[in-house]
Amino acid sequence: MSEFSVFTSVVQVRPDDIDMNQHVHNAKYFDYVLTARYDQMERCYGMSMEAFLERGFSWVVRASYMEHKRPLRIGDTAVVKTSVTEIRERGVKVSFDITKEADRKTVAKGWLDYAMVSLQSGRPQSIPDDIIQIYSV
């Protein structure tokens, strides 16, 4: 997945995640990745989203890609693995793999390309060296 560390978070499928086909709606998989990244930012990298906001930074998605392999259903637990796969001057690419905990089979995989932005201007900006170091584990 990456030469950087892979981190794992567990997300329980909720009743409001389910669509008319009785499985998790496709848009919810990105929510699972976002939930995992918030958890991992604090727990694994030691820099929470709140810390980014306090410094006047945020992340926005520039591009995304996802392959759906099989469904998750009510009562399932998702295991979300993410890893930074690329660090650029103004952004990072994060790959993800979501599996069903019960059988460890992949249900979705893909990537998100984030840009770091200034909260003040809303414009992309260079990632500070200390943040690059934090994400380079």
- Residue 1 belongs to some domain of the structure: no
For residue 110 the two structure tokens come to 């893909």
**Which candidate, 74, 131, 119, 76, places its Cα nearest to that of 99?**
76
The answer to whether the beta carbons of residues 111 and 64 sit under 8 Å apart is yes
Number of folded domains in the chain? 1
- Residue 36 belongs to some domain of the structure: yes
The answer to whether the beta carbons of residues 72 and 27 sit under 8 Å apart is no
Read off the DSSP letter of residue 52. H
For residue 117 the two structure tokens come to 């932005």
- Residue 23 belongs to some domain of the structure: yes
Quote the pLDDT of residue 3.
79
Residue 13 is inside which H or E element, if any?
Answer: none
Total-model pTM: 0.93
Domain interval for residue 101: 7-135
Residue 77 CB neighbours (<10 A): 13
- Residue 119 belongs to some domain of the structure: yes
State the CATH number of the domain containing residue 99. Answer: 3.10.129.10
Quote the pLDDT of residue 109.
98
- Residue 2 belongs to some domain of the structure: no
pLDDT 10s digit of each residue in the chain, 137 long? 557 999 999 999 999 999 999 999 999 999 999 999 999 999 999 999 999 999 999 999 999 999 999 999 999 999 999 999 999 999 999 999 999 999 999 999 999 999 999 999 999 999 999 999 999 98
Quote the pLDDT of residue 2.
55
Residue 16 is inside which H or E element, if any?
Answer: none
Cα 42 to Cα 69: distance, rounded to the nearest angstrom: 29
